[in-house]
Amino acid sequence: MVLGAGVLHAVWNAIAKHLDDQFFGFACIGVASTVGGVAVLLGTGLPAPAALGYVVVSAVIHVAYEYGLMSSYRLGAFNQTYPIARGTSPLVVAVGAWWLAGEHLGLLAWAGIVTLAVGLMSLAFSSGRPGRQEAPAVVAAVLTGLTIAAYTLVDGLGVRRSHDPYAYAALLFALQGPVFPIVAAFRRPIAAWRRLRVVSIGLLAGLLSLVAYGAVLWAQTKAPLGEVAALRETSVIAAAIIGAVMLRERFGARRLAAAALVAAGILLIAA
The whole-number pLDDT of residue 193 equals 65
Higher pLDDT, 249 or 217: 217
Q: Where are the domains of the chain?
A: 2-270
The whole-number pLDDT of residue 51 equals 95
Q: Is the pLDDT of residue 245 over 70?
A: yes
Most confident of 51-55, 75-79, 253-257: 51-55
- pLDDT interval class at 198 (50, 70, 90): confident
Average pLDDT over the chain, rounded to an integer: 83
What is the average pLDDT across 7-36?
86
Tens of pLDDT along 113-163? 888 888 877 777 766 666 677 778 888 888 998 998 899 889 988 998 998
Higher pLDDT, 20 or 183: 183
pTM above 0.75, yes or no: yes
The whole-number pLDDT of residue 127 equals 62
Question: How many percent of the chain have pLDDT more than 70?
Answer: 91
The whole-number pLDDT of residue 270 equals 63
Tens of pLDDT along 210-228? 899 888 888 888 888 777 8
The whole-number pLDDT of residue 82 equals 80
The three state secondary structure string of 120-168 is: HHHHHCCCCCCCHHHHHHHHHHHHHHHHHHHHHHHHHHHHCCCCCHHHH
